[in-house]
Amino acid sequence: MKPRIGVLTSGGDCPGLNAVLRGVVLAADKLGWEVLGFRDGFEGLLPPGDFVVLDRARIAGIMPRGGTVIGTTSRGHFVAKIGAGTKAIVAAEVIADARKVLAELGVRALIIVGGDGSMTTALQLQAAGINCVGVPKTIDNDLEATAMTFGFDSAVAVVMDALDRLHTTATSHKRVMVLEVMGRHAGWIALHGGIAGGAHIILIPEIPFHHDRIADAVRRRDARGSHGAIVVVAEGALPQDGQQMLHPTTSGEYRFGGVGESVALEIAARTGKETRCCVLGHLQRGGAPTTLDRILGTRFGVKAVQLINEDQYGSMVSYQNYQMQQVPIADAVNRLRLVPPDGQMVQTARAVEVSFGD
């Protein structure tokens, strides 16, 4: 039997996941290894093991496809983090079962492609003797341990395209158009998408906003003869005198949403201008990955196989200084990379007359 490794994708789907899987399979094939793709995240590790052999035929043509061909979930038996950081311990018997399944299948090591919560689970598996290598995944691009994650560029491209389209109505109708985008804790998608899409106002969690300042910015544009305005608001944006808009779900998680509509109402009330809100939602996570995300995904996948070949377990692939490197998973979890309010990106946006509503 060929040496075997496993791979799973966990947490929210994200453009570029299939590029990672393809990179893993082709790099492993070169070493003469077989790859088992466990279905629906960690759940595939439950007895008797739900997996598919990822061979060349299975990965043919998957690179341009969004999502993940082996499925994913942010729920289930292995959830190790609830909401913005409350930790949970994965039940010892669940981990023991997973270890048994992997041992019986002869899986030498497991590549876990996931976000902060999935890496927290990976640490617990690693501590229980399962050889793990992490690949970071978040469209929010908010992990401190890697300069970039795949999926972010694709999400920003969708935001930019949406803004290009919203400009049309804003200009033609002299309206204010508000676009709510993803980003619970970090405003990277709003900031990059907003700059690329020529937004006039960008609201992010790191810079609390005030409705009066937003209205000032809209009025300033009006006074200059520019009667339309484009506002991008991250779902986690925070009013100076209010709260983030989050709603508890039945699973104990929080779902963000609604800040765009509330900003639109306040702008209309303060300026008298017709203001409309559009929520981009999961359109940002769907569809074909961009060039950059295909390349990043491929590099992350190939590097993960290299780390297994070097027995560097407990480490996560990290993109730093244009190179694929690695960091201990333990150093990567719980460290979010937020937008520095005085950083160059914010300064650049301000230089091109973007208001942050502060």
Contacts with ligand F6P, residue ranges (CB under 6 A): 12, 74, 138-140, 182-184, 235, 255-256, 285
Chain-centroid distance of CA 317 in Å reads 16
In contact, 66 and 13? CB cutoff 8 Å: yes
Q: Give 198 or 281: the residue with its C-beta nearer to ligand F6P.
A: 281
User: How many Cα neighbours within 13 Å face the side chain of 148?
Assistant: 23
Q: Is 164 labeled as catalytic in the residue annotation?
A: no
Strands 229-234 and 81-82: unpaired
Which residue's beta carbon is nearest to the bound ligand F6P? Answer: 182
CB of 167 to ligand F6P, least distance (A): 24
Q: Give 139 or 217: the residue with its C-beta nearer to ligand F6P.
A: 139
Q: Give 3 or 76: the residue with its C-beta nearer to ligand F6P.
A: 76
CB of 14 to ligand F6P, least distance (A): 8
Q: Give 47 or 85: the residue with its C-beta nearer to ligand F6P.
A: 85
CB of 124 to ligand F6P, least distance (A): 20
CB of 182 to ligand F6P, least distance (A): 3
Of the residues 13, 140, 153, 293, only one is catalytic, namely: 140
Which residues are marked as active site?
140
